[in-house]
Amino acid sequence: QVQLLESGGRLVQTGDSLRLSCVVSGRPFSALSMAWFRQAPGNEREYVAAINPSGSSTEYADSVKGRFTISKDNSKNTVYLQLTAVQPEDTAVYYCAAQAAGTWRFVDTWGYWGQGTPVTVSS
């Protein structure tokens, strides 16, 4: 069983930066592809970014490309999401996901999920 614990979400202002973290346990982290999704109130869960097991390959949703960065520290069993130049539309609960079994952009691809960390961007 893989367990994921997100942290780092908070209230920020437009244009600010913050870093989300997700610590993973229960399976060799270096073998896991990882992703971040987000879900705003009343909306479906939305793909944000993903990274391959070694950390050598990443992919981003068009809405965050150039502003967000996903990274993976296999020595700390942790995946990060660096958010910069945040906008009110980035307000959502951010979820960490592990172990993809298909196309990264699809929610159903991922086998394990964390409980989420809320990010609120005020204007």
**pLDDT tens, residue by residue, 50-93:** 999 999 999 999 999 999 999 999 999 999 999 999 999 999 99
Spatial contact of 112 and 99, defined as CB atoms under 8 Å apart = yes
Spatial contact of 91 and 79, defined as CB atoms under 8 Å apart = no
Q: Is the pLDDT of residue 1 over 90?
A: no
pLDDT of residue 27: 87
Q: Is the pLDDT of residue 47 over 90?
A: yes
Q: 22: exposed, middle or buried (C-beta count within 10 Å: 0-12, 13-18, 19+)?
A: buried
